[in-house]
Amino acid sequence: MIPDVDNDSIVYLNGDYVRLGDAKISVLDRGFIFGDGIYDVVPAYGGKPFRMDGHLARLERSLAAIDIKVDLKRADWEGIVQDLIARSGLGDCMVYIQVTRGVAKRDHGFPKGATPTVFCMVSPFVRPGAQVRQQGMSVVSMTDVRWLRCEIKSVSLLGNVLAKQHAVDNGVDEVIQFRDGYMSEGASCNIWMVKDGVLLAPPRSNLILEGIRYGLLEELAEAAGIPFNARPISQQEVDQADELMLSSATKELLPITTYNGKPVGSGKPGPVYAKLREGYDKAIAAL
């Protein structure tokens, strides 16, 4: 039994709803052997999925990018997400979706005739509290040494795991990664910068995983009259940022107030963050 896991919770596995404790997958599954699969996470507030279309569209893009074909349409995925939330009885929660290439003899090439493994589960989601919103997060910089297909939301997360452990080893909350001197992203989040009132982000490319909040923050910036520019951002610019912030499904939108041991701007959450945070909370409340 795994500590802190509800083995009686209901999960979806290959077309069936079963107890988590009863869900079994072969050790020859290519997700286990090769990390040959993709995943996504759909947040829900008060039992209502948030930006589900964006998450499922990214799920489909990732599946197509590694040529996994699943006999499930968009409506099927939506039904699974809604069904798991209803079965869980949870309000604020996260629905985790994972698809692997399936079970086959261990060989690097794609196997013929393998049936993809589809696994989905739901877990409670505790929103970031007032303290972290007011105090902000601490981060350090590091070199981005991951592979060059970061736009695929792959279950092969060793690079992200090592990045997160770098943050843990340095006693901070997160990292900001740099590839060839330009900002990419955190261990498991997108990074945003503000300079002279302009919101900046790395451009969409294979070097970052485009978070679903990427598009959301563009919308919120436009609604709040905040200029936005997606372009390469140098490490020197980050060093001189007026504000830094991060976004992800689990972290929502949070300010970064300490970077490499030094305060960012005033060392407190800035005015651009405050406007975006207000808009983010209104978007959730609109559910």
Who contacts 51 (Cβ-Cβ below 8 Å, separation ≥6)? 43, 212, 213, 216
- The active-site residue out of 48, 69, 153, 164 is 153
Nearest Cα neighbor of 92 from 119, 55, 122, 120 is 122
d(Cα 192, Cα 38) in Å, to the nearest integer? 25
Who contacts 77 (Cβ-Cβ below 8 Å, separation ≥6)? 56, 59, 97
User: How long a stretch of residues is the chain?
Assistant: 287
d(Cα 188, Cα 175) in Å, to the nearest integer? 9
Nearest Cα neighbor of 248 from 53, 40, 56 is 40
Residue 153 a catalytic site member: yes
Strands of 83-132, DSSP E: 93-100, 117-124
Cβ pair 174, 166 in contact under 8 A:
no
Beta strands 137-143 and 182-183, pairing class: unpaired
Residue 129: φ, ψ to 5°: -85, 180
Cα–Cα distances in angstroms (integers) from residue 63 to residues 16, 25, 92, 108, 154, in the given order: 21, 20, 27, 18, 9
- Name the DSSP letter for residue 234: B
Give the residue numbers marked as catalytic.
153
